[in-house]
Amino acid sequence: MINSPTLIGRVSKVVFLGLCLIVTVFPLYWIVVTSLKEPGAIYSLPLDYWPKQLSLDNYIGLFTKSDFGQYMLNSLVVALVASSVATLISLLSAYVLARFQFSGRGAVLGAFLITQMIPGFIALGPLYLMMTDFGLVDSKTGLILIYIAICIPFCTIMLRGFFENVPDALEEAAMIDGCSRLSALFRVIVPVMLPGIAASFVFNFVNCWNELFLSVTLMNSDSNKTIPTALAGFISSFNIDWGSMSAAAVLTVVPTLVIFAFASKFIVQGLTAGSVKG
């Protein structure tokens, strides 16, 4: 691979990478195009690869015929609160796990890693019953609490990787100057680690924003439904309204796409640091 690339090599590279890019981006393109077609034009042949007439009817219908605005707001509140709290809690646990050797450290890490291999819905039934006992079924608070618990393990593992890149002399100096451990952490280390913390937060946010099975199981009233639950409702009816569906899909994906574009560098860093190192 150190030899200078031949013409064939270069052409095949461009063709291959180009093809991959087209295949990757095309579904997004197609859903945007579908959402901008007039409802009638979606179900007409031959297919238009670019709508003759752009229309916002699907988007307008989404907000006037369903409570999509409310769902978006619910998703935003749930994802924002859960991911903030989870990031804060994980920051503390990651700090301990990155900085100190103590007996039981391996067990804690192992317990966190195991949750990554066994997803939440395996305990869907018991969780539902537990939330019923707490009176937290169909409640945003209940969903937030569960999401926090789901986010913590991976967020801790990710943040631990970032902590290892910050020299511990930093907080030791602050503590010699009279800071408590907590204030040393927040005044000295957090500012240095901000990109990593932001990435972890974004990762949590996107996971909460996209989570489906728990919210479908727990949420049922329109005032509490999150976007994925609402979208799942779209398919339970026999005929899917692909116009509204595609408009809803675009509105759901765009926010995450924008945040990912800003934070992907750090997310990649965290993912590879967390799992390559183990």
Partner 1 sequence: MTLDVKQAAPPPSGRKAALSEPGRGSSSKRRFSGRTALTLLAFLAPAAVFVGIFTYYPMIAGSQMAFRNWNLNDLSDTSWVGFGNFQSLFDAPEFGTIVRNTVVWVVGSLVPQVVIGFAVALFLKRRFRMRGAYQAMIFFPWAVSGFLIGMLFRWMFNAEFGVVNDLLMKAGLIGSPIPWLSDPGFAMTAIIIANIWYGVTFFAIMILAALQSVSDEMYEAAALDGAGKVRTFFSITLPSISTTLALTILLRVIWIFNFPDIIFAMTGGGPADQTHIITTYMIKITQEGDYGKASALGLIVMVTLMLFAAFYLMAVRFRKADR
By CB under 8 A, tell whether 8 contacts partner 1: no
The least distance separating partner 1 from the CB of residue 227, rounded to whole angstroms, comes to 9
Q: Which helix (H) or strand (E) holds 4?
A: none
Q: Look up residue 257 and give its two tokens.
A: 């796409």
176 or 261: whose CB is closer to partner 1?
261
Residues in the chain: 278
Half-sphere exposure of 44 (CA within 13 A, CB side): 9
Q: Which helix (H) or strand (E) holds 225?
A: none
By CB under 8 A, tell whether 212 contacts partner 1: yes
Q: Which residue among 95, 154, 201, 205 contacts partner 1 (CB under 8 A)?
A: 95
In the region spanning residues 124 to 163, those forming contacts with partner 1, defined by CB under 8 A, are 124-127, 129-130, 145-146, 148-150, 152-153, 156
Look at residues 114, 88, 44 and name the one whose alpha carbon lies nearest to residue 193.
88
By CB under 8 A, tell whether 25 contacts partner 1: yes
150 or 224: whose CB is closer to partner 1?
150
By CB under 8 A, tell whether 196 contacts partner 1: no
The least distance separating partner 1 from the CB of residue 199, rounded to whole angstroms, comes to 12
Look at residues 113, 85, 124, 274 and name the one whose alpha carbon lies nearest to residue 214.
124
Residue for token digits 């049922």? Answer: 220
In the region spanning residues 32 to 71, those forming contacts with partner 1, defined by CB under 8 A, are 34, 42-43, 45-47
119 or 135: whose CB is closer to partner 1?
119
Count the helix, strand and coil residues of the chain and give each as a percent rounded to the nearest 5.
80, 0, 20
144 or 224: whose CB is closer to partner 1?
144
By CB under 8 A, tell whether 204 contacts partner 1: no
By CB under 8 A, tell whether 208 contacts partner 1: no
In the region spanning residues 97 to 126, those forming contacts with partner 1, defined by CB under 8 A, are 97, 100-103, 108, 110-115, 117-126
CA distances from 227 to 28, 119, 155 (A): 18, 20, 23
By CB under 8 A, tell whether 191 contacts partner 1: no
Stretch that binds partner 1, among 55-63, 66-74, 206-214, 218-226 (CB under 8 A): 206-214
Q: Which residue among 28, 73, 179, 198 contacts partner 1 (CB under 8 A)?
A: 28
The least distance separating partner 1 from the CB of residue 255, rounded to whole angstroms, comes to 9
The rounded distance, in Å, linking the Cα atoms of 219 and 231 is: 13
The rounded distance, in Å, linking the Cα atoms of 92 and 101 is: 15
Look at residues 222, 232, 226 and name the one whose alpha carbon lies nearest to residue 74.
226
Q: Which helix (H) or strand (E) holds 21?
A: helix 7-36
Residue for token digits 């860093």? Answer: 269
The least distance separating partner 1 from the CB of residue 224, rounded to whole angstroms, comes to 18
By CB under 8 A, tell whether 264 contacts partner 1: yes
How many residues bind partner 1 (CB under 8 A)? The answer is: 102
